[in-house]
């Protein structure tokens, strides 16, 4: 009996050499990839031809940014978000009007869709790719005023600086509405409003499901990034501002 | 009952005697082992370092620098794994122009061991991801995306195991819910399965069937959603599961100074780490293992 158990003991002993290691200590650190590290030349050599080809297209100077603009510079609206929404409004509206005879009422984009800062200094084609790397394009939906109210409820609930243009939304400190205006007027629940957005949001991105409550979809086949490139080409100086279009009062 | 207890004790002491009798020859090399886990997430096609005027990211990042750091760390400890938690794609013109080819080529040169799939890895559609697979000399893992009815079927495993200096490491992947985040036309018939249920299955398989010493979850769920506390996140996953030692996260671009220590469902510690985005940081976790022979024998013998 004892002998048998002893044999088991031996087997356990051998197993323990391979399998019974015990986790005793854990250490962690997140190391900054800084200038102090040298670059691996083999990696650089592989990147070089890809980079040379890209740089030809990317380095054209289109405009000049007066300051550095970040989507973090504001709670409910930001200078960079306002620039993007205003650019979409300004450059999409003539196309939409020429195709349909209607005018845009407003623009709604998403805060998460601003993918970089716009640094102070020269603005290049690459800046537009950094801000908007995605291939999303401008679509226009026709929404009833009642659906627009669902949009304002969404904006109020999410408390994010989703870029808007044409809509004015002022919240009281208790989160009730102080003011809702489209083109300076109160929303008429029965009227149809034309809202420019992007196909990502229309297809359910950021759960903006109210955008699907449109009987018609107008795809302008105009990439948001190309809107930015055209806007930067049109204006030689960029100086966007945070303003009063979407704010919460301290009352 | 008493008799059985006595036998167990005897067995333990017999084994102890045997150990000294045998000498330590068969076990001497395995006194302590260090396993290093290096990781990135949400690199988003940031191949080059940021330029000098790029705000808070100025002069940071760059794959060529990461490569030399990884090389140095691998030389310090060959028992190293390099992992990526998804969103490899999208963010610079390198992706728009070349579709992810260069990202995968460079990760292969850095000898990434395994990566999981982020929502932006579907940005050129699931076919766009599939098209770049020949450039990746590392595997993709995802346990909660069912790719059965897609082109990615058989190209993604739920988990992968590695053995480094006698330590068996199991790594499984988890992806974020795609509906509302990615266009259905892009992810097609990819089916999202519940991350907590899958994580529990995975940790059981890796612990009991695969007998792993270290279990890592490579997640693109996101660190924590304070505004949407019901949404699954790495922090929630850590608390709700067991047997996971480390959750490496992504998606929320969360910069942590050091890994967070959470308490799991059975009161044990789990590490949760994430290194922001754009290849600005490399995460490094060292696990030290000691061969606790006597203790191991006692517990093994008690099972007899």
Q: Tell me: the pLDDT tens digits for B159-185?
A: 999 999 999 999 999 999 999 899 899
pLDDT at B183: 87
Give the pLDDT band of residue B32 (cuts 50, 70, 90).
confident
Q: What is the 3-state secondary structure (H, E, C) of chain B?
A: CHHHHHHHHHHHHHHHHHHHHHCCCCCCCCCEEEEEEEEECCCCCCCCCCCCCCHHHCCCCCHHHHHHHHHHHHHHCCCEEEEECCCCCCCCHHHHHHCCHHHHHHHHHCCCCEECCCHHHHCCHHHHHHHHHHHCCCEEECCCEECCCCCCCCCEECEEEEEECCEEEEEEEECCCCCCCCCHHHHCCCEECCHHHHHHHHHHHHHHHCCCCEEEEEECCCCCCCCCCCCCCHHHHHHHCCCCCEEECCCCCCECCCCEEEECCCCCEEEEECECCCCCEEEEEEEEEEECHHHHHHHHHHHC
**Cα end-to-end distance, chain A, whole Å:** 85
Burial zone of A130 (CB within 10 Å; 0-12 exposed, 13-18 middle, 19+ buried): buried
CB–CB of A205 and B54 under 8 A? Answer: no
For range B92-118, the mean pLDDT = 97
Higher pLDDT, B2 or B62: B62
pLDDT at A92: 98
Q: Which two tokens stand for residue B28?
A: 């001497």
Of A207-211, B17-21, B81-85, B274-278, the least confident: B17-21
**Chain B partners within 8 Å of A115 (Cβ):** 91
- The verdict on B268 touching A (C-beta cutoff 8 Å) is no
Q: Which two tokens stand for residue A98?
A: 């020429």
Which residue among A33, A38, A117 places its CB closest to the CB of B55?
A: A117
**Chain B partners within 8 Å of A133 (Cβ):** 44-45, 90-93, 95-96
The position carrying tokens 């079927």 is B153
- The verdict on A226 touching B (C-beta cutoff 8 Å) is no
Higher pLDDT, B304 or A100: A100
CB–CB of A130 and B98 under 8 A? Answer: no
Give residue-wise pLDDT tens across range B226-257: 989 999 999 999 999 999 999 999 999 999 99
For range B271-298, the mean pLDDT = 82
pLDDT at A22: 86
**Chain B partners within 8 Å of A69 (Cβ):** none
pLDDT at B279: 98
Residue B139: closest CA among B106, B165, B109, B116: B116
Decide if pLDDT at B22 tops 60. no
Give residue-wise pLDDT tens across range A162-200: 999 999 999 999 999 999 999 899 999 999 999 999 999
Cα Rg of chain A, angstroms: 27
CB B162 within 8 A of CB B130: no
Residue-averaged pLDDT of chain B: 88
For range B43-59, the mean pLDDT = 94
Q: Which two tokens stand for residue A43?
A: 């990696």
pLDDT at B143: 98
Give the pLDDT band of residue A20 (cuts 50, 70, 90).
low
- The verdict on B256 touching A (C-beta cutoff 8 Å) is yes
Note the ipTM here: 0.85
Neighbours of A29 (CB within 10 A): 15
Residue A84: closest CA among A125, A131, A123: A131
Please count the residues of chain B: 304
Which residue among A37, A42, A117 places its CB closest to the CB of B65?
A: A37
pLDDT at B13: 38
Of A49-58, A94-103, B3-12, the least confident: B3-12
- The verdict on A37 touching B (C-beta cutoff 8 Å) is yes
Give residue-wise pLDDT tens across range A88-99: 999 999 999 999
Q: Å from A211 to nearest chain B CA?
A: 12
Higher pLDDT, A88 or A215: A88
For range A116-125, the mean pLDDT = 96
Decide if pLDDT at B2 tops 50. no
What residues are paired with B281 via a beta bridge? A32
Which residue among B227, B284, B295 places its CB closest to the CB of A29?
A: B284
Q: Å from A10 to nearest chain B CA?
A: 6
Neighbours of B139 (CB within 10 A): 16
For range A85-112, the mean pLDDT = 97
DSSP state for residue A134 in the 8-state scheme? S
CB–CB of B106 and A134 under 8 A? Answer: no
**Chain A partners within 8 Å of B64 (Cβ):** 39-41, 43-44, 47
Q: Which domains are present in chain A?
A: 62-248 (3.90.780.10)
CB–CB of B282 and A31 under 8 A? Answer: yes
pLDDT at B292: 59
Q: Collect all residues with Cβ–Cβ distance below 8 Å to A128 and sequence separation of at least 6.
A: A62, A225, A226, A228, A229, A232
Give the pLDDT band of residue A251 (cuts 50, 70, 90).
confident
Higher pLDDT, B256 or B13: B256
- The verdict on B59 touching A (C-beta cutoff 8 Å) is yes
CB–CB of B281 and A17 under 8 A? Answer: no
CB–CB of A42 and B14 under 8 A? Answer: no
CB–CB of B289 and A21 under 8 A? Answer: yes
Of all residues in chain B, what percent carry a pLDDT higher than 70? Answer: 86
Q: Which residue of B has its CA nearest to A59?
A: B93
Q: Which of residues 145-174 of B touch A (CB under 8 A)?
A: 166-168
Of A226-230, B7-11, B95-99, B276-280, the least confident: B7-11
Q: Å from A223 to nearest chain B CA?
A: 13
Of B26-40, B160-174, B199-213, the least confident: B26-40
Residue B96: closest CA among A123, A54, A205: A54
pLDDT at B302: 32
pLDDT at B207: 97
Decide if pLDDT at B21 tops 80. no
DSSP, collapsed to helix, strand or coil, labels residue A240 as coil
Q: Which residue of A has its CA nearest to B165?
A: A18
Decide if pLDDT at A44 tops 90. yes
Decide if pLDDT at A8 tops 70. no
**Secondary element (H or E) of residue A4:** helix A2-19
Candidates B20, B28, B45, B92, partner chain A, best to mutate (most A CBs within 10 A): B92
CB–CB of B97 and A53 under 8 A? Answer: yes
Using the CB atoms, write b or e for B215-225: b if 16+ within 10 Å.
bbbbbbbbbbe
Q: Å from B158 to nearest chain A CA?
A: 23
Q: Which residue of B has its CA nearest to A44?
A: B64
Q: Which of residues 206-225 of B touch A (CB under 8 A)?
A: 211, 213-214
**Chain A partners within 8 Å of B291 (Cβ):** 16-17, 20-22
Q: Å from A192 to nearest chain B CA?
A: 25
């Amino acid at each position: 009996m004892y002998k048998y158990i002893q044999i088991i003991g031996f087997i356990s002993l051998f197993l323990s050499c391979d399998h019974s290691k015990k986790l005793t200590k854990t250490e962690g650190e997140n190391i900054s990839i800084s200038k102090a590290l040298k670059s691996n030349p083999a990696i650089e050599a592989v990147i070089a031809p890809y980079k040379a080809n890209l740089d030809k297209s990317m380095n054209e100077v289109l405009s000049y940014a007066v300051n550095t603009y970040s989507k973090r510079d504001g709670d409910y609206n930001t200078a960079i978000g306002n620039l993007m929404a205003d650019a979409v409004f300004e450059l999409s509206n003539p196309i939409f009007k020429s195709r349909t005879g209607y005018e845009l009422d407003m623009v709604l984009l998403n805060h998460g869709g601003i993918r970089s800062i716009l640094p102070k200094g020269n603005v290049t084609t690459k800046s537009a790719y950094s801000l908007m790397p995605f291939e999303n394009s401008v679509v226009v939906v026709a929404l009833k005023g009642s659906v627009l109210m669902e949009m304002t409820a969404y904006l109020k609930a999410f408390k994010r600086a989703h870029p808007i243009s044409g809509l004015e939304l002022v919240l009281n400190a208790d989160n009730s509405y102080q003011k809702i205006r489209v083109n300076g007027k109160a929303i008429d629940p029965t009227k149809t409003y034309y809202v420019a957005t992007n196909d990502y949001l229309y297809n359910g991105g950021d759960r903006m499901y109210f955008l699907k409550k449109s009987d018609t979809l107008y795809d302008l086949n105009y990439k948001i990034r190309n809107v930015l490139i055209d806007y930067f080409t049109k204006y030689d100086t960029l100086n966007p501002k945070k303003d009063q279009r979407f704010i919460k009062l301290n009352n | 009952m008493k008799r059985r207890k006595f036998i167990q004790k005897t067995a333990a002491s017999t084994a102890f005697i045997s150990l000294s009798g045998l000498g330590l020859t068969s076990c001497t090399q395995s006194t302590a082992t260090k396993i290093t886990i290096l990781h990135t997430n949400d690199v988003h096609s940031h191949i080059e370092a940021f330029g000098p005027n790029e705000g808070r990211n100025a002069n940071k990042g760059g794959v060529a620098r990461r490569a030399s750091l990884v090389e140095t760390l691998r030389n310090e400890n060959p028992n190293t794994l390099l992992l990526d938690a998804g969103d490899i794609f999208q963010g610079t013109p390198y992706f728009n122009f070349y579709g992810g080819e260069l990202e995968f080529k460079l990760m292969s040169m850095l000898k990434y061991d395994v990566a999981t799939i982020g929502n932006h890895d579907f940005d050129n559609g699931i076919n766009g991801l599939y098209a770049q697979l020949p450039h990746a000399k590392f595997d993709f893992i995802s346990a909660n995306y069912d790719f059965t009815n897609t082109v990615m079927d058989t190209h993604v495993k739920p988990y992968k195991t590695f053995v480094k200096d006698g330590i068996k490491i199991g790594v499984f992947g988890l992806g974020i819910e795609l509906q509302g985040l990615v266009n259905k036309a892009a992810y097609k018939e990819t089916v999202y399965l519940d991350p907590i249920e899958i994580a529990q299955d995975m940790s059981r398989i890796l612990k009991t069937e695969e007998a792993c010493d270290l279990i890592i979850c490579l997640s693109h769920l996101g660190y924590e959603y304070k505004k949407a506390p019901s949404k699954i996140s790495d922090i929630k996953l850590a608390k709700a599961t067991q047997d996971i030692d480390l959750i490496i996260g992504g998606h929320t671009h969360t910069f942590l100074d050091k890994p967070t220590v959470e308490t799991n469902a059975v009161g044990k510690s789990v590490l949760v780490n994430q290194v922001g985005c754009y290849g600005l940081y490399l995460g490094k976790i060292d696990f030290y293992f000691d061969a606790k022979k006597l203790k191991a024998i006692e517990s093994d013998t008690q099972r007899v």
